[in-house]
């Protein structure tokens, strides 16, 4: 018997992440083996989870992943844990198409009990019908308890506890309204700046959770047996050549947005070496380079000044080296990035395009890319844009939103480089034929 719970909410801004981080750290402080998960495509919350729990956080996403893969992931990553904590996305039932892609869908698929985090600011007993609705809207969901956030006092909580009793949802505690448990934000999400003392912050929330939330009861009502891993995914996986690859992955303050299972899948194909475009002066010896997204716009001076690394990557590409770049990684491959200050910063120069942070506008959503005869799935989330009207480098894929509307999200191909704004998922063996073909294929599409 292990404890499994999904932390959901009625809406974004209820405090899911704050409570999740505090609970993860509290469980870690109790010397429990805790495994964090994140519903949906977010790659920033997972980094917070890792820092709070001391173990990698894994995405569960029903748009990018098959059901068999999700079941396999969950069983595999919970096999050595005492507690599995999945943080939901947006409101519990909010998906890309009604409930599809929602936290509720993941809860129903994996039969994970739900603990609701409820924003109690400016409300009291009125949460009763909200709780009753969430508990009874779908009979295939098991909403077992509620934790309240922004609670003003013990007297305030007494009204909330009575609402829980009348709605048939167990009250598990609360977090008091405190200004010192708010995480500073940045344009792509919660901040991970070096001057933000995360350890102290996580311990502070953990103390509040220990003091005001009945953790023992929470673990008791979410205990269940763990199922064996699903084997269907492995049976339909594309055959992979028995060739050990040298794989180089950019990882530093500027490039760090990646999916845990993508990296684990790469580790099965060969040896991974991490490198820093900020600090290293050349690529390691490699067959394949992965440039994930991140915050290159915050390090434009340093990236531009490191001309030896830029030249090393450029030379690797011109020799026919295989490289995949996503979002910030794609921007780094452009000839230049224009910062929010209007200044121009030279970059690698593989792609004859300019990326700009001027007049920032959010672009986000799931993406399906049709490339050659393959279907690529991922998520787009950025404020930058490619400057139009420059040297033509047409997109080699047709992109669609989750609801099937065509969008102008590009995928560029230059020699053996694939680059675009979409954060792609290739950890699912039943859906990654395109990635295997890209890594091991013989065709070098030269420009």
pLDDT tens per residue, range 148-165: 999 999 999 999 999 999
User: In which band, very low, low, confident or very high, does the pLDDT at 278 lie, cut at 50, 70 and 90?
Assistant: very high
Helix (H, G, I), strand (E, B) or coil at 229: coil
First-residue to last-residue Cα distance in the chain: 57
Query: What is the per-residue pLDDT for 392?
Result: 75
Mean pLDDT over residues 198-204, rounded?
A: 90
Per-residue model confidence (pLDDT) at position 106:
98
Q: What is the pLDDT of residue 384?
A: 95
Asked whether the predicted pLDDT for residue 192 surpasses 80, the reply is no
Sequence-distant (≥ 6) Cβ neighbours of residue 322 within 8 angstroms: 287, 288, 289, 416, 417, 438, 439
Q: How far is CA 271 from CA 266, 283, 287, in A?
A: 8, 14, 10
Indicate the pTM of the whole model.
0.93
Alpha helices in 231-282 (DSSP H): 232-236, 260-267
Rounded mean pLDDT, 332-345:
96
At residue 447, the pLDDT reads 36
Residue 237 scores a pLDDT above 80: no
Measuring CA to CA, which residue among 62, 66, 10 is closest to residue 37? Answer: 62
The angle that helices 198-212 and 45-53 make with each other, rounded to 10 degrees, is 70
| Cα-Cα-Cα-Cα dihedral sign, residues 259, 260, 265, 267 | positive
Kindly indicate the confidence band of residue 242, based on its pLDDT and cuts at 50, 70 and 90.
confident
Q: What is residue 286's predicted lDDT score, i.e. its pLDDT?
A: 98
| Residue ranges of E strands in 69-160 | 83-87, 114-119, 143-151
What count of residues does the chain have?
447
pLDDT at 236 over 80: no
Q: What is the mean pLDDT of the chain?
A: 92
| Least confident residue range of 202-211, 226-235, 350-359, 360-369 | 226-235
Domains and CATH numbers, the chain: 2-224 (3.40.50.300), 237-440 (3.40.50.880)
With beta carbons less than 8 A apart as the criterion, state whether 5 and 85 touch: yes
Q: Which of 186-195, 239-248, 343-352, 385-394 has the highest mean pLDDT?
A: 343-352
Residue 17 vs residue 443, higher pLDDT: 17
Helix (H, G, I), strand (E, B) or coil at 96: coil
Q: Which of 338, 61, 95, 293 is nearest to 188 (CA)?
A: 293
Cα separations (Å) of 17 from 37, 89, 182?
Answer: 12, 10, 10
What is the reported pLDDT for 231?
Answer: 46
d(CA 40, CA 423): 13
| SS3 state of residue 380 | strand
Mean pLDDT of 334-363: 95
Q: How far apart are CA 309 and CA 349, in angstroms?
A: 12
pLDDT for position 227:
58
* pLDDT (average), residues 332-352: 96
Percentage of the chain beyond pLDDT 70 is: 92
Note the pLDDT of residue 185: 58
3-state helix, strand, coil in the chain (%, to 5): 30, 30, 40
pLDDT at residue 72, rounded to an integer: 95
What is the predicted pLDDT for the residue at 198?
83
Mean pLDDT, to the nearest integer, of 27-49? Answer: 95
pLDDT band of residue 280 (cuts 50, 70, 90) is very high
Identify the band that residue 184 occupies on the pLDDT scale cut at 50, 70 and 90: low
- On the question of pLDDT at 194 being above 80, the answer is no
C-alpha 75 chain-centroid distance: 19
Q: Is a pLDDT exceeding 80 seen at residue 341?
A: yes
| Residue numbers annotated as active site | 327
Cα–Cα distance for residue pair 81/31, rounded to 1 Å: 11
Rounded Cα–Cα distance for residues 25 and 42 (Å): 20
The residues facing 183 across adjacent strands are none
pLDDT at 101 over 80: yes
């Amino acid at each position: 018997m292990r404890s499994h719970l999904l932390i959901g909410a009625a809406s974004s801004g209820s405090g899911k992440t704050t409570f999740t981080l505090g609970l993860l750290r509290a469980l870690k402080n109790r010397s429990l083996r805790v495994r964090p998960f994140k519903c949906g495509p977010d790659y920033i919350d997972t980094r917070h989870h890792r820092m709070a729990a001391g173990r990698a956080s894994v995405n569960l996403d029903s748009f990018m992943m098959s059901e068999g893969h999700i079941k396999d992931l969950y069983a595999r990553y919970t096999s050595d844990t005492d507690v599995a904590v999945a943080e939901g996305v947006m409101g519990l039932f909010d998906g890309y198409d009604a409930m599809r892609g929602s936290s509720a869908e993941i809860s129903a698929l994996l039969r994970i009990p739900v603990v609701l985090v409820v924003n109690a600011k400016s409300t009291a007993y009125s949460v009763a019908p909200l709780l009753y609705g969430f508990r009874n809207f779908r009979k295939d969901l098991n909403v077992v308890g509620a934790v309240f956030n922004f609670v003003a006092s013990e007297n305030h909580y007494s009204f909330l506890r009575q609402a829980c009793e009348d709605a048939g949802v167990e009250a598990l505690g609360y977090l008091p309204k405190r200004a010192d448990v708010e995480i500073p934000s940045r344009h792509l999400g919660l901040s991970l700046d070096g001057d933000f003392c995360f350890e102290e912050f996580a311990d502070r929330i953990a103390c509040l959770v220990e003091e005001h939330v009945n953790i023992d009861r929470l673990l008791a009502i979410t205990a269940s047996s763990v199922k064996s891993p699903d084997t269907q995914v492995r049976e339909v996986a594309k055959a992979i050549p028995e060739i050990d690859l040298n794989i180089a992955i950019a990882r530093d303050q500027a490039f760090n947005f990646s999916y845990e299972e993508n990296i684990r899948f790469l580790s099965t194909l060969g040896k991974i070496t991490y490198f820093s475009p900020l600090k290293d002066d050349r690529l390691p010896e490699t067959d394949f380079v992965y440039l994930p997204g991140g915050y290159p716009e915050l390090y434009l001076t340093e990236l531009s000044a490191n001309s030896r690394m830029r030249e090393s990557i450029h030379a690797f590409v011109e020799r026919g080296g295989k490289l995949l770049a996503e979002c910030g990684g794609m921007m780094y491959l452009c000839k230049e990035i224009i910062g929010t200050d209007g200044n121009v910063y030279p970059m690698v120069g593989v792609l004859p395009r300019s990326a700009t942070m001027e007049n920032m506008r959010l672009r986000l959503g799931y993406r399906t890319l049709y490339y050659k005869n393959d279907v690529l799935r991922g998520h787009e989330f950025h404020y930058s844009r490619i400057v139009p009207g420059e040297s033509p480098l047409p997109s080699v894929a047709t992109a669609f939103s989750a609801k099937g509307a065509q969008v102008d999200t590009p995928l560029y191909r230059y020699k053996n480089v694939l680059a675009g704004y979409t954060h792609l998922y290739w950890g699912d063996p039943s859906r990654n034929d395109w990635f295997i073909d890209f890594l091991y294929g013989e065709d070098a599409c030269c420009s």
